[in-house]
Amino acid sequence: MKSTDYLQEVLKELDRASKLVSDHDLEELVTSILSAKKVLVAGAGRSGFMLKSFAMRMMHMGIDAYVVGETVTANFEKEDLLIIGTGSGETKGLISIAEKAKSIGGKVIVVTIFPESTVGNLADYAVKLPGSPKDNTDSDFSTIQPMGSLFEQLLLLVLDSVILKFMEKKGLDSNTMYGKHANLE
């Protein structure tokens, strides 16, 4: 198989997987972001990179957004929202972060393959995404991709879609958002 054949298959998988995402879940995520004082995000590994990208786009839209663990991250308060991205929902560090956020009284939303996981059970709301057959044995959804690649790619695309919905609701466009883009590059 050629590399471009693999690319086409990955795109087909993402198309199929995207049709399994609940619009209701994403609307809940948008509504929660709109009502939060601050939005903090957390994820580990590649999922964490996707959440960092999401935090950057939220900042471009004027949302007070932070990445948990960074030196410039604000404190978490009752009016805030924590969004966790985790395929398994069992990453120890993310469990601790969710427990702490819940003890403070803020809202927690998890985007995961397993809403019934430990983090899923701690969250106020879970957005379910399909994942690899190894991680999602109760599903007949299959992927040629290694490990959590499908989940991580779909996570980025889903969060970018949330950004587009937020832009629509707030009447923002890319030109407006460039005003918040880094300019000391």
- Kindly give the interhelix angle for 149-170 and 3-18, rounded to the nearest 10 degrees: 60
Residue listed under structure tokens 């509504």: 31
Of 77, 90, 116, 152, which is the active-site residue?
152
The first and second tokens of residue 113, run together, are: 């393959």
In the chain, the N- to C-terminal Cα span, in Å, equals: 40
Smallest CA-to-CA distance from 158 within 41, 26, 64, 70 is with 26
28 as an active site residue: the answer is no
Contact 82, 95 (CB under 8 A): no
Please spell the DSSP secondary structure of 108-149, one letter per residue: EEEEES-TTSHHHHHSSEEEE----TTT-TT-----SS-TTH
Cα–Cα dist 158/137, whole Å: 22
Coil, helix or strand for 83? strand
Positions marked catalytic: 152
